Structure 1
Amino acid sequence: MTGAADPSAIRQLAAGRRRYGNLKDEAAAFIREAVVSGSLPPRSKVDQDEIAEVLGISRAPVREALIELAQKGFVDAVPRRGAFVAEVTVEDIEDHYEVVALVSGMTTRRAVRKLTAQELDELARLHREIAGTEEASRRRTLDRRFFQIVATAGKSPRLDAILEFLGGVLQGSFYFDSPASADNEAKYREQLLGAIRSGDVAEATRTSEEHVRSCAAVTIDHLRNRGYWPPPEATP
């Protein structure tokens, strides 16, 4: 059974959007936002013509965006029928973050002894700036920069590529949509910064993995509270 998209919500979502330089990226970002906001609910069909119209672009970049989003698990491409919003289960979220946790722990373990004094100062500065920033989108940008510094300090291009790919999938968007994500990020940034400063490799690794697993719990709670999954049927 297919869910129904909300055309009026989609048009409202498109109003006043900042234009990207790359039209495919613009279309992909818009579709992700529509999924997270519920304008495109699970199993609903993604109307390429409608997306192109509300964004004021041609169908070609929308089609390219859907191909990319299908590769990342946002949508399911059904031959001769079109693209449909993928349904995310609790197990999907737990599995996704478990993989990210393991890779993140590996990169953090390598990074602890490789971070320079300048990079440590930058981590501390970012942590302070995030704490004093009111704008949510700015906080997320700075937060990603904080953890990116730790990840890339491990000097492993392969692990960096894996984390970059995993960071673009659906569950990350759901996580940052949760009101609880800001406090969760602040808690683990502080713990991780302390472990790195003290040179405690084991503690930094543990904190990194625990942080990522906590993202799964926050995401699941948020989606449940939002009614993303239907309530279980009552037992007669």
Structure 2
Amino acid sequence: MSLPGEQLYRLSSGEQVRLYVRRLIFEGVLKQGQRVPQDAIAQTLGVSRVPVREALLTLEREGWMTIVPHRGVFVNGLDEPSVRDHYELYGLFYGFGVKRAVERQGPELARLLEPIRKKIARTKDPVNLYEYTLSFHRTVIEAARSPRLRTMLRQMTDLVPGNFFELVPGTDVVAREGTAAILGAIERNEAAGAESEYATMLRRQGSLVVELFRGRHMFDSDETAES
């Protein structure tokens, strides 16, 4: 099979291979039920089988793959409820984080977030928007002062490989509106309101990801309906 990747720099870690394999799923090169061509991936990326194996073990833990002993590694299918649940969970985690941050930082949190929110509102560049939005999230989580929350978030994996705002139409608007609403609640010292606004923003982003995946025929139901 022909795999994309010739333009990538030489990859040398399981994490980089993991991101690459997820991109193959996203681009439809690897489909549900397909056996993962480990040798072809290793050859395309110029790495040994070791980081490929490490990446596939991680992807199995994340739910992307199923490893069948003596048979190989197979791609799991995505479905709409799983995608929506993913972003609902993000909303719960970040909602909890902003609630704790408001309780523990008070007005100082709004002062920290306002310059970032202004950058998010002004930029038209998706690369900058991605960085500013990550900075907004990071500032909230740091202000929450919850090591347990940081641990839980590290276990979550993005469903969309690459720059979220370049790949998912409409998410720039959601980010601008959402961060403004979150900051407004923080300025009013409404911890529960900020929590609710975070959940709303991430739920809206999840709906846009569902639309994108449906358009790419990445859901089981799409293939079933066409067969």
CA distance in 2 between partners of 1:220 and 1:117 (Å): 36
1:126 to 104, 108, 116: 116
Q: Report the CA distance between 1:178 and its aligned residue.
A: 1.5
1:15 to 2, 6, 9: 6
Q: Please give the per-residue CA displacement for 1:67-112, whole angstroms capped at 9, x wherever unaligned.
A: 1111111212122121122111112122222333222221111111
Cα distance change of structure 1 residues 150 and 224 upon mapping to structure 2, 3 Å threshold: same
| Letter in structure 1 aligned against 2:149 | L
1:141 aligns with 2:134: no
CA distance in 2 between partners of 1:216 and 1:48 (Å): 31
C-alpha contact (below 8 Å) 2:26/2:160 kept by paired residues: no
Q: Report the CA distance between 1:122 and its aligned residue.
A: 4.2
Cα distance change of structure 1 residues 91 and 174 upon mapping to structure 2, 3 Å threshold: farther
How many residue pairs align between the two structures? 222
Q: Report the CA distance between 1:231 and its aligned residue.
A: 6.0
> TM-score normalised to the size of structure 2?
0.85
> TM-score normalised to the size of structure 1?
0.83
Q: Which residue of 2 aligns with 1:182?
A: 172
Aligned partner of residue 227 in structure 1, secondary structure: coil
C-alpha contact (below 8 Å) 1:36/1:174 kept by paired residues: no
Q: Which residue of 2 aligns with 1:82?
A: 72
Deviates more, 1:173-182 or 1:220-229: 173-182
Q: Report the CA distance between 1:118 and its aligned residue.
A: 6.4
1:46 aligns with 2:36: yes
Q: Please give the per-residue CA displacement for 1:117-159, whole angstroms capped at 9, x wherever unaligned.
A: 6654442222333344444344223212211211221111111
Structure 1: 5+ residue stretches without partners: 1-6
| Letter in structure 2 aligned against 1:149 | T
Q: How does 1:162-177 map to 2 (within 5 A)?
A: 162-166=152-156, 168-169=157-158, 171-173=159-161, 176=164, 177=167
Q: Report the CA distance between 1:161 and its aligned residue.
A: 1.1
Q: Please give the per-residue CA displacement for 1:186-225, whole angstroms capped at 9, x wherever unaligned.
A: 2211111121122121210110111222222112122122
Aligned partner of residue 80 in structure 1, secondary structure: coil
Percent identity over the alignment is 27
Q: Which residue of 1 aligns with 2:61?
A: 71
Q: Report the CA distance between 1:66 and its aligned residue.
A: 0.6
Q: How does 1:181-220 map to 2 (within 5 A)?
A: 181-220=171-210
Structure 2: 5+ residue stretches without partners: none
Aligned partner of residue 7 in structure 2, secondary structure: coil
Q: How does 1:49-60 map to 2 (within 5 A)?
A: 49-60=39-50
Cα distance change of structure 1 residues 81 and 182 upon mapping to structure 2, 3 Å threshold: farther
